[in-house]
Structure 1
Amino acid sequence: MRKTLVSAALAVALVIGAYEPARAAPPPAPAGSTLPAGWSVEDGQLTWRSAQRVPMGDAAVEFWSGDRLLGRPRAQSDQRTFKLAPGEAGALTDLAVRSGGRRLDAAAPKAQRQSKTQITTPAAQPANAVDPGRQGPYSTVRGEYALAGVKLPDYEQNVEMQAVVVAPKGAPGKRPLALFLHGRHSICYGGGDDDLGEWPCTAPSKPIPSYRGYLQAQELLASQGYVTVSISANGINGQDWVSDDGGAQARSSLVRLHLAKWADWAAGGRGNAPAIVRSAPVADLSRVFLMGHSRGGDGVSRAAMDTLTPPPAAQDGYHGKVRWTIRGLLLIGPTIFGHDPVPDVPSATILPGCDGDVSDLQGQQFIDETRGVSRGRALHSSLYVVGANHNFFNTEWTPGQAVAPASDDFWSDDQPDAVCSPGTPTRLTAQQEQTVGATYIAAAARLFVAGDDRVRPLLDGSGARAASAGPASVYSHALGGVRTPVIVPDPSVSVTGAGKLCEQVAAEASKACLDPDDWTQRSAHFTSFNGITPEPGRWAVGLSGTGPVTLTPARPVATGGARELTLRLMVPPNTTGNKYAVSAIDSRGKRTVLGEVRVDGLPGTEFTTSYWAREVRVPLKGVSARIAKLELTPGEGASRAWLIDAWAWNPGTPAPLATSLPRIDLGALQVDEGDSGTKTYQVPVTITGRGAGRVRLFLVDSATYESTSWTADIRPGQRTIRVPVDVAGDTLYGEGEGEYLLAKAERGVVIGDWVGSIDIRNDDPMPAITVSPAAARVAEGGTLTWQVTLSAPTETGFYFVGDPEPPAGGNELSSTDVDPQWFLDNTGEDPEPSRPLSGTWVTPYVYLEPGQTAGDLSIPTVTDDLDEPEETVELHFDDSPGIPPVTGTVF
């Protein structure tokens, strides 16, 4: 193997979406530390190499140090190697590779399997009277088009304009248009392994036709009268590593470029349209429905936002007029890196219970993060599909159906999983999963576009199922529609009795709703915003299950003649019969027992994200005045639970009345540090549109990882928010200095580009480095030591790494000659069988704190009973020109 080394600081790279959470860095590793198995530093970049290929997926691959996000590395073409660009990454202790909340690296802790847990599935729900999964009256026509590629901002290569169209035959008049966008997947096949992720594909490899993966759903919608088009985005998948938003803006641009073509063809340009477009009915661009899978979900949501509130021209790939109206969205296993949904466009989000790609089910934030932002009329539905994985919703990502190699994305540490392994009662087959997808895509289209309220019970938490979805268990809850908030947990809500207000994202177990140190307890509701921990402003109410809990909102709530009280209540997976009596105390002091709810947990194991709220309701009878308090009393044997929120509810789907809320976009500014004095710069913040609102901001220091969070109110006509950053000049070398600004909507605004920064360019020379032997010749059991000295202190932490290479002569020190615990702790490998250090992943390094000018690079050795000659280790410093190798000898 070949590993090159770094003698400068390692860093977070903003350009690939790296943001640090609001935590101080942990203490650095002691001198003589090594990087764990699979880790090295190559060409000045922190590098992790997997033993197996890591398929190109939608969840971002992330480097972590303990609970601190270092950044999102760029995948190399072999799909095994990941590199984080140079800069400041702090001390590299407890390194980990994560994606969608799960560990990928060899050092991942083995799960304590819950094999004795009884897997339970809640009782089947009654079938809805109207089934959107049934074929419609029309036969269909199918074809494809391929137009000239387009250039998108920041992307070097053109992106294809290619799509497959399925349309109804003989459908009268203009027909609604449904556009599908696939997610991030390998883009090429048929060549070598090194060609899987490079765009454009080079012969003999061919592009993977991911856009053809939803034909079943397209055929269903077309039979019901929709013109459907599924577009290809391989050109974005191959280049979105340059985008700080994971490619959401680029995907939005591509969606709107296709919509613009359909608007042209519908407005009299059919003579120049592709043949399949001429064979289809004219599309009605006032009735557009978007479906996005994985990063495609993030992309179509951004397209809906950009349709209502145009993005900054410099970052947008579409600059024409908006000639369409987006009526609704259906998102499958989506990413949402910015926690930035569009509150006034109705949506339904499928959360696959066996998702092994976006396994943290972060798409739940498309529902939760709309709460309180706008009018709350647009329905936002969450659909938890037990037994569905991420890939099989797309046939081109499914083994046996795809033209290219494909795989099941769910993983369970090479051991059978009681819920998600193929063949278990709860796991869906590929065909069953695709039928579920088609059925609920049609349900969302029928409700949001056709306005058929009879399908609403499938989406809004009413507890109905679609018979055409077969044996699948699909559970729903929702926000929006005809709901009035009664309890929205925050510090203004008083909680007394056997419960407490808890933080959804917290560092301390005593404050957290779920123990942050127990990775087997994961809730889609509690996914963090780009690693910010703790994250202010996100609350739930924890119920211990041992006694009644009384919740008092800041002021009594008028329910406005609502029919029922509905609660989103979460209980642990596999628990059953959790009953809670619900009572209301009105503003006159009258107590009314509303009824009892039963909540069963979802089937789950340590490998699933199964802490998810069920929606339960009780009639609001006998409550004549405003509700001043709610009381929840557990029944015998009830488990602990968490109240996400409670609402007064009426049936119906009101028109969402989409509005153009003020939009906030953050930008980046690069500045020189200078040698003296202090200059103040403003993080670029742009506000467009009209109206008032509130935004939560997080300013994170890239060197210390400390953050400040606050809310800022937006006044009508305001065009920026002042976020000053002081830059002090000096003559000390330092990399990666600056501040990152993150933004989330609180009320009355939407967030487009949600990350900004002040990046400080280093303008000081690197100090000279000398390496001198302190104990370069030791007896067995001694510690080989070299002193690393800098000619001047540095402003940020400084790494110096040694790479064992075969010595020019003599016997090489082996894995069994060094301390076995030291070797195991730092490589994840067993020292046995004995092998030369140059054939392992050991990379000893020294970390110098800011201001520190000297430290020891050490290798501890052990004694043995073998009669052997002297052994040598030779360390190279290839990334530090002019520093010769050093040798150490053990006798």
Structure 2
Amino acid sequence: MKRHRRTRTSARLLGLSAAVLSAAAVGFTYTDATGAAAPNEATERSTVPAAASTRTVRYDLGDDAWRLPQTGQPVELTGVVHYPADLGTGRHPLIVMLHGLHDTCADRKADAARTAAERDGDDAAYEAANAKLSAWPCASGTPVLPSERGYDYLGRELAAQGFVVVSVGANGINASSVWGDDNAAARADLINRHLRMWQELSSKDQGELSGKFTDPATGAARRVGFAHHVDMGDVGVMGHSRAGAGVTWQAADSHRGQWPKGVDVKAVAAVAPAYNVMTEDMSNYTITKTPFATFRGTCDGQVGGEALWFAADAAKGNRSGFYRFAIHGANHNYFNTQWSPRSRQVAASDDAMPVEGHPGQCTDREGAAPTRQLTEPQQRHVAVTYLGAFFRRHLLGDTGQDPVLTGARHPDAAITDVDVTTAAP
């Protein structure tokens, strides 16, 4: 039977049938003068210039540095870190970002074979090629597909505003056999594993991350003085796609006890989240004590409207702030540069549904109203605007972002419409 990759991917993301999918249808600014940053005496938070320069390092503890609690399958402990070039003398909020379900190995021959098998309706050949693309660890000589680098644009922008931002790899989870709620739980466990390492590094300048930072381009060792400069009591988490469910699970009221000692998650953002809407225990996702935002594009070809309504159900009773953003013309993949066509990466694609007879317009399902599709840079610009406003409001106390978060002000109106639904604190 011939398969269409978009339908196949959507079903894999959600663990649901295509039929079910169709039915579910900026005030606090760093204004210190250039030069050494000064701490805010009340919070010991560093202030740095709003347009401060940033730097990037990477850590990689190995492809099998951690084992899934559910199955024992190997998962990497790797991350790319964006941070202010001058960390100053105070502390910076930490934001942890996590990617969702995607191919794990950049095997171009296997990708071509999978495309041909899909065209020819050859199920056996499709599965054989797919196994190579979704293996972990990758075969010798096959490059890893670095989905965690897909948010570099966002990490750099947030770092320029004074955050320390780490985007972590989850290829081992993507290649594993855990699905549904277990997959969300595994991603939450992975976030907590990284937070534990950062807590030890920040508080003691010790632990697994000590001495492990390298230059992403050259691999040369880099010494960065993160100790006592990262505020582990002021943490934000962001998850895209399947990881959107993961961060919702991680921040749920019932799972706060699993956060490492000394860690306090103050803001959670789910970007185009792929939830298991068939979950039997909604308490695993319920967030009432932490500010929570969810985002979805109107041309998302991977997850449907459940990305917004499931999050709304999870946020019932939230007194800390809940926000829903529907971005007109945004698809699923453009939030991650590695998944987007301009990267020329293996398995990169535009998942938006084109509208026959209306070039440049898109939708998320047949019969839905079309809208002008955003380009990759436009979609990411909007993501930076609203995610930046959310994290600045709830990690920095920047009430000047309230008009953006409530929809009273639309800073990207010249680019596209963003429908905002909010239950502000």
Under a length normalisation based on structure 1, what TM-score does the superposition of the two structures give? 0.38
Unaligned runs of 5+ in 1: 1-37, 39-48, 64-96, 104-127, 312-319, 482-891
Q: Find the residue that maps to 1:206 and give its secondary structure.
A: coil
Q: Find the residue that maps to 1:464 and give its secondary structure.
A: coil
Does residue 142 (structure 1) correspond to residue 142 (structure 2)? The answer is: no
Cα distance in 1, alignment partners of residues 342 and 351 from structure 2: 14
Cα distance in 2, alignment partners of residues 136 and 55 from structure 1: 43
Contact 1:347 1:379 in 2 (8 A): yes
Does residue 398 (structure 1) correspond to residue 340 (structure 2)? The answer is: yes
Contact 1:463 1:475 in 2 (8 A): no
Q: Find the residue that maps to 1:50 and give its secondary structure.
A: coil
1:478 partner amino acid: T
Contact 1:351 1:361 in 2 (8 A): no
Alpha-carbon offset, residue 154 of structure 1: 2.5
1:297 partner amino acid: G
The 1:129/1:447 distance shift into structure 2, 3 A limit, reads closer
Residue number in structure 1 paired with 2:231: 284
The 1:385/1:187 distance shift into structure 2, 3 A limit, reads same
Does residue 252 (structure 1) correspond to residue 198 (structure 2)? The answer is: no
Residue number in structure 1 paired with 2:242: 295
Residue number in structure 2 paired with 1:210: 147
Residue number in structure 2 paired with 1:275: 213
Cα distance in 1, alignment partners of residues 415 and 28 from structure 2: 17
Contact 1:289 1:327 in 2 (8 A): yes
1:427 partner amino acid: Q
Q: Deviations over 1:606-662 (max 9, x none)?
A: xxxxxxxxxxxxxxxxxxxxxxxxxxxxxxxxxxxxxxxxxxxxxxxxxxxxxxxxx
Cα distance in 2, alignment partners of residues 448 and 60 from structure 1: 29
Alpha-carbon offset, residue 269 of structure 1: 2.4
Alpha-carbon offset, residue 404 of structure 1: 2.3
Map 1:30-429; keep pairs closer than 5 Å. Answer: 38=1, 50=3, 56=9, 59-63=13-17, 97-98=18-19, 100-101=21-22, 136-148=50-62, 149-172=65-88, 173-190=90-107, 191-192=109-110, 193=114, 194=129, 195-239=132-176, 241-245=177-181, 247-270=183-206, 272-275=210-213, 278-279=223-224, 281=226, 282-305=229-252, 309-310=256-257, 321-337=260-276, 338=279, 340-372=285-317, 376-412=318-354, 416=358, 419-420=361-362, 426-429=372-375
Alpha-carbon offset, residue 361 of structure 1: 4.0
More strand by share: 1
Given candidates 390, 394, 401, the residue that maps to 1:448 is: 394
The 1:322/1:417 distance shift into structure 2, 3 A limit, reads farther
Cα distance in 1, alignment partners of residues 60 and 254 from structure 2: 24
Q: Find the residue that maps to 1:343 and give its secondary structure.
A: coil
Alpha-carbon offset, residue 182 of structure 1: 0.8
Cα distance in 1, alignment partners of residues 397 and 61 from structure 2: 33
Alpha-carbon offset, residue 61 of structure 1: 4.5
The 1:357/1:321 distance shift into structure 2, 3 A limit, reads closer
Alpha-carbon offset, residue 345 of structure 1: 0.8
Under a length normalisation based on structure 2, what TM-score does the superposition of the two structures give? 0.76
Cα distance in 2, alignment partners of residues 130 and 264 from structure 1: 29
Q: Find the residue that maps to 2:345 and give its secondary structure.
A: coil
The 1:257/1:365 distance shift into structure 2, 3 A limit, reads same
Contact 2:321 2:423 in 1 (8 A): yes
Cα distance in 1, alignment partners of residues 152 and 159 from structure 2: 10
Alpha-carbon offset, residue 466 of structure 1: 2.0
Aligned length: 360
Alpha-carbon offset, residue 232 of structure 1: 0.5
Residue number in structure 2 paired with 1:802: none
Cα distance in 2, alignment partners of residues 153 and 303 from structure 1: 15
Alpha-carbon offset, residue 62 of structure 1: 2.8
Map 1:618-657; keep pairs closer than 5 Å. Answer: none
Map 1:693-772; keep pairs closer than 5 Å. Answer: none
CA RMSD in angstroms comes to 3.0
2:139 partner amino acid: T
Alpha-carbon offset, residue 425 of structure 1: 6.7
Residue number in structure 2 paired with 1:436: 382
Does residue 473 (structure 1) correspond to residue 390 (structure 2)? The answer is: no
Cα distance in 2, alignment partners of residues 153 and 252 from structure 1: 11
1:59 partner amino acid: L
The 1:381/1:306 distance shift into structure 2, 3 A limit, reads closer
1:264 partner amino acid: E
Contact 1:101 1:360 in 2 (8 A): no
Q: Find the residue that maps to 2:96 and give its secondary structure.
A: strand
Alpha-carbon offset, residue 146 of structure 1: 0.3
The 1:201/1:414 distance shift into structure 2, 3 A limit, reads farther
Contact 2:68 2:75 in 1 (8 A): yes
Unaligned runs of 5+ in 2: 31-48, 115-128, 215-221, 365-369
Q: Which one scores higher on RCO, CA 8 angstroms, separation ≥ 6? A: 2
Contact 2:233 2:265 in 1 (8 A): yes
Q: Identity of counterpart residues, as a percentage?
A: 29
More helix by share: 2
Q: Deviations over 1:717-752 (max 9, x none)?
A: xxxxxxxxxxxxxxxxxxxxxxxxxxxxxxxxxxxx
The 1:307/1:443 distance shift into structure 2, 3 A limit, reads farther
